[in-house]
Amino acid sequence: MRKHVASTFLALLLFPLTIWAQDSDRTGLNYGFHIGWQWAGNAEAKLYEVGSEGTLNLNNILIGNTTNYTKLKEYFNDDFSLYEFPHDTKYKPTLSLGGTLQYYTSKTFAIYLNAIFTSPSITHCSFSVKLNSKKGNLSDEVIEQGSISGKENRLQFELGIHKSFPIDAQVTPFIEIGGAASFMEMKTHEVSIGNLNQSVLHYSNSNANSNFSKMGFGASCATGIQFPLANKFYLYTGLSISAIHYGIFDNTFSYAKTIDVKILL
């Protein structure tokens, strides 16, 4: 009921603006800003799953590291062993912000350049350890939960073409298609359990003074509706999808979906 009321209120608010606005000719260079809500592809979320293999794994962090092992053993007042490793890690939906340039060669055709920033973080990444001095019965086992957190920054550039299909002066569907390049940098990566909070940020780099980062390339497309809010402002709203290959995992593309709102000035 509340969603219906909110939708009705928004429609009533925008209706007089669209009636008042005029569909002006935007031939030439236009600039504006972008805001959206993005669901990042979960392929790269596996980066944060510190598992049982590789140079850096949970055994090395919790047990192989004498300082960490002693700290946790004193905290639990017991010896322990790894019980469950992290899996099915996903990204949380996140805000996307950026700017856009559009050069209209005609009223319905433009070349665009977007620069979009997002900062996705992971969720549902947990593991557990089992205390060893308890009895062997399942009912007597004591399991302690730990978590892995991570956050990264992504800056994506998109270059492509925009084509609109006017229905009337106020409502105009459009499509966009183009190439994309994305720079991804890991900002935080931490393992937490008991009284231990261990950063493992630099695990993928030979240079411990720099964060893990990758450049990816791919394509993007978008579709939606554009309409004038006023003579000066032109609004685009719709859904965009990008497919980026970072080369971290073989033959894997990261598909990000975004609900977009873009305003040209």
Query: How many degrees, rounded to 5, is the angle at CA 211 between CA 193 and CA 220?
Result: 105
Q: Which of 259, 260, 246, 188 is nearest to 217 (CA)?
A: 246
Q: What is the pLDDT of residue 228?
A: 84
Query: pTM above the 0.95 mark?
Result: no
**DSSP for residue 91:** E
Q: What is the pLDDT of residue 54?
A: 59
Q: What is the pLDDT of residue 241?
A: 97
Q: What is the pLDDT of residue 260?
A: 93
pLDDT along the chain (265 residues), means of 10: 46 41 70 95 88 73 91 92 89 96 94 97 90 66 90 97 86 95 94 91 56 92 89 87 91 91 91
Residues 257 and 74: their CA atoms lie apart, in Å, by 46
Task: Please tell me whether residue 1 adopts helix, strand or coil conformation.
Answer: coil
Q: What is the architecture of the domain spanning 2-264?
A: Beta Barrel (2.40)
SS3 annotation, 210-240: CCCEEEEEEEEEEEEEEEECCCCCEEEEEEE
Task: Kindly provide the b/e burial profile for residues 74-95, where b requires at least 16 CB atoms within 10 angstroms of the residue's own CB.
Answer: eebebebebeebbeebebeebe
Spans of all domains in the chain: 2-264
Q: What is the pLDDT of residue 234?
A: 85
